[in-house]
């Protein structure tokens, strides 16, 4: 039996499986099955008010979920969710659920996302991952997979199978090793307000890239619409201190250095070295720097010191 067959069987049976994606490793379960969703929250120790992202194979599968997908989102999907598109990238879109009346008027739905996934919100977050393992497993399952990062809640996100093993071994039945994640940062999360695109969590799909399609607003610093952005997050055991100051040179380095994707792996390495404090220079909060800034200040529990000479 191949590892994919094993994963699919476990997922059909309502179990959780750690699967690589291009962003970070995900802890996946059948998004239609409330008991399976409960296993995600239990394994991670995830706060019950932090909703999960639903992963689908393509836009067509997203259309089958009983959600209101505005035209603007369809255009974003064609660009950011489509393999081979020059803009293809990690983008999560938050959609309103259709009303019961709208659902009755447009049957048959292939499935409804239960409240357990969206923690009672009237919206559901959806994305198309860009990783052959994750896509193959979704296609073979035929149902969408809810998948937050495959770590203990609050610790740095897992960008290698070893990170998942360190956090969750003994708690989950299967980890698929896909090597290092390409992106190493979670997806950009957006929602729509008329023709406005609101960024709830910055990521590798930047405000600049989205602004080709409409007006963009960044709702950061504990987004009211995105419960998960309020918490201390991504934190190693060591105390993290975010340093703001003359970011010249350093900020430029973080933004342009391809190793920027190793932020979470580095935080875990410092823990292994026994570090008690980690000082991190904050990058300029622009472009991909905004996504890094967002993760670093959460790892630092929003403690920022100003370095002035
Ligand atoms: P994680 O899967 O741990 O990377 O986090 C998922 C992110 O998506 C968190 O920041 C959540 O707050 C956000 N999210 C998930 N579902 C929704 C939703 N329905 N509305 C707004 N934000 C959401
Ligand atoms: Mg996470």
Cα–Cα distance, 188 to 115 (Å, whole number) = 23
Is the whole-model pTM more than 0.85?
yes
Number of neighbouring beta carbons within 10 Å of residue 100 = 9
pLDDT tens for each residue of 155-166: 999 999 999 999
Q: How many Å lie between the centroid of ligand 1 and the Cα of residue 193?
A: 17
What DSSP designation does 161 have? Answer: H
DSSP string for residues in 228-254 = GGGS--S--SSEEEEEES--TTHHHHH
Three-state secondary structure call for residue 268: helix
Whether residue 235 has its Cβ less than 6 Å from ligand 1:
no
pLDDT of res. 238: 83
Q: How many Å lie between the centroid of ligand 1 and the Cα of residue 189?
A: 7
Distance of CA 29 to the CA centre of its chain: 15
**Which residues line ion ligand 2, judged by CB < 5 Å?**
149
Q: How many Å lie between the centroid of ligand 1 and the Cα of residue 72?
A: 20
Average pLDDT, the chain: 90
pLDDT tens for each residue of 14-67: 999 999 999 999 999 999 999 999 999 999 999 999 999 999 999 999 999 999
Cα–Cα distance, 13 to 142 (Å, whole number) = 13
pLDDT of res. 134: 98
Cα–Cα distance, 141 to 30 (Å, whole number) = 9
Return the closest-CA partner of residue 165 out of 180, 151, 179, 183.
Answer: 151
Whether residue 227 has its Cβ less than 6 Å from ligand 1:
yes
pLDDT of res. 1: 87
pLDDT of res. 256: 56
pLDDT confidence tier of residue 252, bands split at 50, 70 and 90: low
Cα–Cα distance, 302 to 294 (Å, whole number) = 10
pLDDT of res. 309: 59
């Amino acid at each position: 039996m191949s590892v994919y067959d094993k994963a699919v069987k476990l997922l059909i049976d309502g179990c959780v499986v750690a699967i690589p994606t291009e962003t970070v490793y995900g802890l996946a379960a059948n998004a239609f099955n409330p008991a399976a969703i409960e296993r995600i929250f239990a394994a991670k120790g995830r706060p019950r008010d932090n909703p999960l992202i639903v992963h689908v194979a393509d836009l067509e599968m997203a259309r089958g979920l009983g959600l209101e997908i505005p035209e603007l989102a369809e255009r974003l999907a064609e660009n950011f969710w489509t393999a081979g598109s020059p803009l293809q990238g990690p983008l999560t879109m938050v959609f309103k659920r259709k009303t019961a009346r709208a659902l009755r008027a447009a049957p048959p739905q292939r499935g409804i996302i239960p409240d357990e996934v969206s923690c009672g919100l009237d919206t559901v977050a959806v994305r198309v991952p860009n990783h052959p393992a994750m896509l193959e497993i979704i296609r073979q399952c035929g149902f969408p997979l809810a998948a937050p990062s495959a770590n203990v809640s609050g610790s740095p996100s897992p960008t290698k199978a070893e990170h998942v093993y360190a956090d969750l071994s003994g708690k989950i039945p299967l980890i698929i090793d896909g090597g290092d994640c390409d992106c190493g940062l979670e997806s950009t999360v957006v929602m729509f307000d008329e023709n406005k695109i609101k960024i709830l969590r910055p990521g590798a799909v930047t405000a600049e890239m989205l602004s080709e399609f409409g007006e963009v607003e960044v709702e950061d610093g504990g987004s009211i619409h995105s419960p998960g952005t309020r918490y201390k997050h991504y934190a190693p055991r060591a105390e993290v201190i975010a340093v703001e100051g003359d970011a010249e040179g350093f900020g430029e380095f973080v933004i342009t250095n391809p190793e920027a994707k190793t932020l979470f792996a580095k935080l875990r390495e410092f823990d292994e070295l026994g570090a008690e404090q980690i000082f991190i220079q904050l990058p300029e909060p622009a472009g991909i720097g905004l996504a890094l800034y967002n993760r670093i200040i959460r790892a630092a529990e929003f403690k920022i010191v100003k370095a002035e000479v």
